[in-house]
Amino acid sequence: MLEVLGVKGRANGPAAARATAAGAAVLLAAAGCGVLGGGESPEPDEGRAGPRVTVSPAPGATDVPPNTPVRVSATEGSLAGVTIEQVRAGEEVEALPVTGTLSEDGRTWTSDWNLVPGTAVSVYAAAEGSSGRQREFRSEFTTAPVDEDGALGLASNFPRSGDTVGVGMPVIVGFDTPVEYKEQVENSIEVTSEHPVEGAWNWVDDETAVFRPREYWEPYQEVTVDLRLTGVEAAEGVHGTEDHRLEFEIGREMISTMHVPDHEMTVAVDGETVRTIPVSNGKAHRRFNTTTSGVHLLMEKYSRLVMDSATVGIPQGSPGYYRVDVDWAVRTSNSGEFTHAAPWNTGNLGVADASNGCTNMSVSDARWYHDQALMGDVLETTGTDRELEWDNGWGFYQRSWEEWLDHSVTGEPQVTDGSGTPGSVHGEGL
């Protein structure tokens, strides 16, 4: 016996419910299936009316692009269930299921996600005629393989599975090759959270995609990211070959605020102020040593760090060059800004701005902040004439939600309730 037929995935509504219930009652045995030829079901037996089924890609097709949708249609009846199995060439039988969506009239089923490259694909369909008679059909085709030079892979991701992060944390995905067909790739990545929100993707460059919610995440919840990259076409002839899943936790809400002229930082956890820290920020003699205003996200932290201005464009021998060891450093941008201990600047803490752009603290305050900090915690800074750029570090909330959504190639929000992504993962015109 083959597995019970059913409709899974994005299918919803009364038609989907009917199809699922009907499919659960149908068992297909290999001897009981009609083998499709030329894309259509065989003629019904003489004297017996029955439904007809059409499958695309056509039965017997070879080297089918893996981002081709599978469509199963019924005439003179409706679909009772569809199952797709994929088997990699040269391997033992391995069921690689594909979920799909059933149309409201129950006559057309379309696969949700892409196919595995280099596999033999079997499509099993059951259809029911107006008389209640059910017929079963089978169709087979193969997908084109992908060589190593034509494979899309995951190069990096933040956060990592198992991380606990702050409420501002974005999902940052780095690919190992430039992505040209960004919409297909965006739609292949589904973010799901216990407390659903609207979110969207933007691209920092051709290899880096960033998802952020409309507003900060609700604290204390689990977030899952399903990267269904298998079969997705990233560029001409470049396809994904492997899926990935990320699972991380949003921790407590820690939001720090700092109005630079006041020379202090206020730290609130779950809405309650837990510490007020005297600070000294950038002296603002020039743009380089002006602390940026805007929504910063904490990126990484070090118990000890060598700060060298050559890494931010001021080489040794140039005016303003410095190289200094600091303790308890927390990065807030990619332009050299950290919170850190500055015992040499004790007299200015809470009084005057005298740093090269960093937020100086006492050793005890800097260590406390370092120990409390989670990647993705929020630092909201105001009061200077240098605005944080949206792509400087993780300044992604510097774009308004409207701007962020406008820069998404889908142009639509993704709701993190498990309902799917805004558009198709399949190739245009397929």
Task: Encode 28-71 in three state secondary structure.
Answer: CCHHHCEECECCECCCCCCCCCCCEEEEECCCCCCCECCCCCCE
Token pair, residue 68, equals 């081709």
Q: Which of 340, 370, 407, 426 is catalytic?
A: 340
The DSSP bridge partners found for residue 233 are 239
Burial of 313 (0-12, 13-18, 19+ CB in 10 A): exposed
Residue 98 is encoded by which pair of tokens? 């594909």
3-state secondary structure of 244: strand
Determine whether 340 is an active site residue.
yes
Tell me the residue ranges of DSSP E strands in 170-282: 171-175, 189-193, 198-205, 208-213, 221-227, 233-235, 238-240, 244-250, 254-259, 264-269, 272-278
Give the strand pairing for 254-259 and 378-382. parallel
Contacts of 132 (CB under 8 A, 6+ apart): none
Q: Please check whether residue 371 is in contact with residue 327, taking contact to mean a CB–CB distance below 8 angstroms.
A: no
Contacts of 196 (CB under 8 A, 6+ apart): 415, 416, 417
The three state secondary structure string of 105-125 is CCCEEEECCCCCCCEEEEEEE
Q: With beta carbons less than 8 A apart as the criterion, state whether 224 and 310 touch.
A: no
Catalytic hit among 358, 370, 407, 426: 358
The whole-angstrom separation of Cα 430 and Cα 414 is 23
Buried b (16+ CB within 10 A) or exposed e, 343-352: eebeebbbee
Gyration radius from the chain CA atoms: 28
What strand order describes the sheet that includes 254-259?
A: 272-278, 264-269, 254-259, 378-382, 294-297
User: Which residue type does 153 have?
Assistant: G
Catalytically annotated residues: 340, 358
